[in-house]
C-alpha cells in the first residue's frame, strides 16, 4: 500500500473535516442561509460525486494515477473560488464541482489500495485507507470550529485548499 495514498487520504479528510462543521455557519453569515439552503450543500456535493464516479473510473483506465492529483487540485481551486463568490447559486455549483474532485480522488485512492498484489493483504490495505480517512475526518472535525472562530470565516476553506495542495504534492 503506497504510503503517499494514505497520507493523501488523511490530508483530504482533514481538510473536509475542518470545513464540514464550519459550513453552516459560513453559509448563514455569508448568504443569510436558512436550513433548506444549508441542506442543499451535501446534496449538490453528493450529486457531483455521483455523476462523476463512472466517468472517473473510465478516465482512471486511460490517464492513470495523475487523475488523483487533478481531483485534489480541483478541490483546492474550488475552495478558493467558494470564498470569493457572493452568489449562492455559484457557490452551489462550485460545491457540485467539488464532488467531481472528490470522485477523482476517491476512485484513484481506492484503486491503488485494492491493487495490492497479494490478495491476503488487500483487506489490510483497505483498512489502512479507511483508518487514514477517518483519522483525518475526526481531527479535522474537532478543529473546524476553532478555525472558523479563531481565524475567520474563510479559514476552513483555505485550510482545506492547503490540505489538498499538500496532498497533491
- Note the pLDDT tens digit of each residue in 54-86: 888 888 888 877 888 999 999 999 999 999 999
pLDDT of the residue at 84: 96
Lowest mean per-residue pLDDT among 34-48, 108-122, 141-155 = 108-122
Q: Calculate the CA dihedral of residues 138, 23, 74, 86 and round it to 10 degrees.
A: -170
Taking a C-beta distance cutoff of 8 angstroms, is the pair 92, 47 a contact? Answer: no
Buried b (16+ CB within 10 A) or exposed e, 95-125: bbbbbbbbbbbbbbbbbbbeebeeeeeeeeb
Distance separating alpha carbons of residues 45 and 154, to the nearest angstrom? 19
pLDDT of residue 150 exceeding 80, the answer is yes
pLDDT of residue 132 exceeding 90, the answer is yes
How remote is the C-alpha of 70 from its chain's centroid? 12
Distance separating alpha carbons of residues 167 and 8, to the nearest angstrom? 5
pLDDT of the residue at 156: 95
Lowest mean per-residue pLDDT among 7-11, 68-72, 143-147 = 143-147
Cell triple for residue 163?
490540505
Dump strand ranges (E) for 29-158: none
pLDDT of residue 1 exceeding 60, the answer is no
Taking a C-beta distance cutoff of 8 angstroms, is the pair 109, 121 a contact? Answer: no
Q: How confident is the model at residue 53 (pLDDT cuts 50, 70, 90)?
A: confident
CA 122, 128, 130, 133 torsion-angle sign: negative
Amino acid at each position: 500500500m503506497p504510503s503517499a495514498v494514505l497520507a493523501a487520504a488523511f490530508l483530504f479528510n482533514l481538510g473536509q473535516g475542518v470545513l464540514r462543521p464550519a459550513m453552516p455557519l459560513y453559509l448563514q453569515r455569508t448568504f443569510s442561509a436558512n436550513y433548506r439552503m444549508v441542506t442543499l450543500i451535501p446534496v449538490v456535493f453528493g450529486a457531483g460525486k455521483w455523476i462523476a464516479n463512472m466517468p472517473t473510473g473510465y478516465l482512471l483506465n486511460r490517464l492513470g494515477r495523475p487523475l488523483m492529483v487533478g481531483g485534489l487540485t480541483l478541490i483546492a481551486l474550488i475552495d478558493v473560488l467558494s470564498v470569493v463568490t457572493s452568489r449562492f447559486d455559484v457557490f452551489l455549483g462550485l460545491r457540485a464541482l467539488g464532488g467531481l474532485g472528490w470522485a477523482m480522488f476517491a476512485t484513484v485512492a481506492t484503486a491503488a489500495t485494492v491493487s495490492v498484489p497479494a490478495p491476503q493483504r488487500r483487506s489490510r490495505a483497505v483498512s489502512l485507507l479507511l483508518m487514514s480517512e477517518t483519522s483525518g475526518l475526526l481531527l479535522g472535525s474537532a478543529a473546524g470550529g476553532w478555525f472558523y472562530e479563531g481565524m475567520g470565516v474563510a479559514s476552513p476553506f483555505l485550510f482545506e485548499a492547503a490540505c489538498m495542495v499538500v496532498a497533491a504534492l
